[in-house]
Amino acid sequence: MSCGNHHDVDCGEVLKRVYSFIDNELGSASVDEIRQHLDECGPCLEQFDLERSLKKLVHRSCTGEHAPEGLRERILLRITQIHVEMRTQD
């Protein structure tokens, strides 16, 4: 999966790690990689924003609790679909 540009870390890898990135669960080396990628990759940045908004939303709906695993999977799947749709549009 990629947006057509070359990146040191490919888009699929970034999207896999974006949850951990938002949760601050990545080591600083990985954080730099993701940040750099989001800097140069519009589609991933959009997904990151979407992801972060969804997470806030989920957080709000179940205060202090982690989202159920199923919901997390569904959101992740939806985000992957959006990424694919964005790719097929151009």
Q: Given the complex with Zn ion, which of 26 and 67 has the nearer CB atom?
A: 26
Query: Which listed residue (44, 54, 75, 79) binds Zn ion by CB under 5 A?
Result: 44
- Pull the structure tokens for residue 17: 């790690």
Q: What is the C-alpha separation between 9 and 35, in angstroms, rounded?
A: 11
Binding of Zn ion by 16 (CB under 5 A): no
Region binding Zn ion by CB under 5 A among candidate stretches 7-15, 25-33, 48-56, 81-89: 7-15
Burial 20-50 (b: 16+ CB within 10 A, else e): ebbeeebeeebeebbeebbeebebbeebbeb
Counting residues that bind Zn ion (by CB under 5 A) gives 5
CA–CA distance, 21 with 4 (Å, rounded to integer): 23
- The stretch near Zn ion (CB under 5 A) out of 8-16, 55-63, 70-78, 82-90 is 8-16
The residues of the shown chain that bind Zn ion, judged by CB under 5 A, are 3, 5, 11, 41, 44
